[in-house]
Amino acid sequence: MTREALLAEVMRLAPEERRAFALEVLGSSDRTSAFVDPMLPDVEASHRSELERRLQLSDAGQLRYGPWEAVKARLLARGA
């Protein structure tokens, strides 16, 4: 299966299933990563905690969503 075909399949999942899938994929990098930077031992842990924090905000209805192009334009306008 190609990457594009896999992504298309994942995008057909319900939002909750996509989040669970993303967390599972990220968790697998802890077990399969061939490269571990000794200077950044907690990167995956910090990513996981940030994803969990955002998921809680999303579930509570406290996040605003918008189309990527609008978000990108807003970030570029800020000089990000």
Q: What pLDDT was estimated at residue 29?
A: 63
Q: Write the CB contacts of 23 (distance below 8 Å, at least 6 apart in sequence).
A: 48, 51
Domain ranges of the chain: 3-28+42-78
Query: What local confidence, expressed as pLDDT, does residue 47 receive?
Result: 83
pTM, entire model: 0.40
The pLDDT tens digits of the residues spanning 18-67 come to: 888 888 887 776 555 555 556 666 777 788 888 889 889 988 989 888 88
Structure confidence at residue 45 (pLDDT): 78
